[in-house]
A and B are shown apart, each in its own frame.
Chain A
Amino acid sequence: MLELINVSFKVLDDEGNEKEILKNINLKIEDRFIAITGPNGGGKSTLAKVIAGIYPVTDGKILFDGVDITNKSITDRAKMGISFAFQQPVRFKGLTVRDLITLAAGKEISVSDACTYLSEVGLCARDYIDREINASLSGGELKRIEIAMIMARGTKLSVFDEPEAGIDLWSFNNLIRVFQKMYEKTNGSIIIISHQEKILDIADKIVVVANGKVKSYGKKDDILSELLHRENSGFGCVKL
């Protein structure tokens, strides 16, 4: 479904030196639920942004359903069926929750449909549908609205960048259910960047990204036990 071939991403740091954030990544994703984990600063979010087209690759190729999307814009990739939930959702003065869910759906949707998506992420639709996406919403509320937008899109591939960050414990358990439901009820594929064992545990496969490289990639049980073993034995100080 998604294939990254020799993908590199370089930036210039403040002193003008080249820094390689992603180093020759090769990754073939065919399963429907993939979790990407690894230490902070290891390149996970960059990888997600490269898939969504927010960052252009410096080298390499990305194939989506066999089509080369390396030079496709964010818009083109979105139209082809890639959704991306930001780690830090963006605020908009004036645009309401209803506006964004309608834009996400790509067509006029009924209030009850919009409400369904909001209810799924634990927000009472009546209280939120006409709220502006501005500073009056908390970080946790914005994260849930961000997920509701991805549900409204219902695309072939949904990429979530740390959806659990900023979400309280009660919502977190519901969040797990949201992803499980999305997995069971839709035909779409899910890529989630996460540090949470509970989220990793519901994936088919796990990719560990560290230092800009794919460190390991395999079945959930194998990778999880490897990570937990390493953490328990005190080696490497790997944070999930």
Chain B
Amino acid sequence: MNTIEKDLLEKVAGLHEIPEGAYNIRANGELGGRSTTANIDIVSKTDKPGIDIIIKPNTKNESVHIPVIISQSGLDDLVYNDFYIGENADVTIIAGCGIHNTGDKKSSHDGIHSFHVANGAKIKYVERHYGHGDGLGENVMNPTTVIEIDDGGYMEMETTQIKGIDSTVRVTTAKLGNEAKLVIRESLMTHGKQYAKTDFTVELNGENSSANVISRSVAKDNSYQVFYSNIKGNNKCAGHTECDAIIMDNAKVSAIPEITANHIDASLIHEAAIGKIAGEQLMKLMTLGLTEEEAEEQIVNGFLK
């Protein structure tokens, strides 16, 4: 692995070296390395590109890293990854995609991730998207996440896109069983002429199921963001969606939160706020000795943290 690839790996997976435990590294559309454990198996699909990650029931405190890195300009990469989280397992999955594009052709990665979270299983899924490169070629990522959580299952998803992705459409759908719980935290920053669309649809089908979808974003320069979320309460359930955006420069942000109650005991809340950085916030930090630019940076970093 060269320096650029190592840097991408660090950015998207926080990895400095080859990780401990189970991992699958996909580099420029090819398998770059794989390791399995007694409890976690990773199998290549035979009918289409992608892998199945199979986590045995009752597997505890193990993690899986599945980073994707693209350093070749003009590559269109498409993968289907399926995650099977066995009953009562408790694991962390760290995915992420980094593109380094110095050429003038478009590089893209479309990952379709499906999660099958069995009864009582608990999973934390961390996904980071990052791009860089000074070429004219666009970096495009369209991640799709399909989630099914069985009775009593729990999934926490942290999805971050901070830099360098020119165009992204991020679609997440979830279906929850009885007592199942889903927490999604999205952090997004766009700059330049970037476009980012986020689309969450959560169906609370089980009794006492709950979902909390929180998005924080910063839109800079001439970028454009669209946030759409729909939480459907089809049973006795609780749902909350919150979109909070800071708008800067000539950026545009649309927030379209939707909640649909199809059951008398569905309790659903949505909140959405868009605004620029408050002048008094900048002033406060300036009275601590920061310049206006430094103050802005602190506020943005804190907001997306």
Contacts and interface: CB of A to CB of B under 8 A. Distances in A.
Same assembly: yes
Interface of A: 52, 54, 73-75, 78-79, 83-84, 86, 89-90, 92-96, 99-100, 103-104, 106, 149, 153
Contacts of A52: 287
Contact of A83 (B281, B287, B292): B287
Contacts of B274: none
Nearest to B280: A90
B163 interface: no
Contact of B289 (A79, A86, A95, A99): A79
A52 B286 CA distance: 10
A75 B302 contact: no
Interface residues of B, number: 22
Contacts of A92: 281, 299, 302
Contact of A75 (B278, B289, B305): B289
A73 B286 contact: yes
Contacts of B287: 52, 54, 74, 78, 83-84
A214 B291 CA distance: 32
Q: Describe A's contact surface by its main secondary structure.
A: mixed
B288 interface: yes
B290 interface: yes
Nearest to B278: A90
Contacts of B288: 78, 100, 103-104, 106, 149, 153
Nearest to B301: A94
A165 B290 CA distance: 27
B285 interface: yes
Contact of B281 (A90, A96, A104): A90
Nearest to A103: B288
Nearest to B244: A93
Interface centre among B278, B280, B301 (most CB of A within 10 A): B280
Nearest to A99: B302
Contact of B302 (A90, A95, A104, A153): A95
B287 to A, nearest CB: 5
Interface in B268-290: 278, 280-281, 283-290
Given A75-B292, A95-B299, A103-B290, A90 B304 contact: no
Interface centre among B244, B284, B286, B305 (most CB of A within 10 A): B284
Contacts of A95: 298-299, 302
Given A92-B302, A95-B299, A75 B284 contact: no
A96 B286 CA distance: 17
13 contacts: A74-B286, A75-B290, A78-B289, A79-B289, A86-B284, A89-B284, A90-B281, A90-B284, A92-B302, A93-B244, A94-B301, A104-B288, A149-B288
Contacts of A149: 288
Contacts of A54: 283, 287
A74 B283 contact: yes
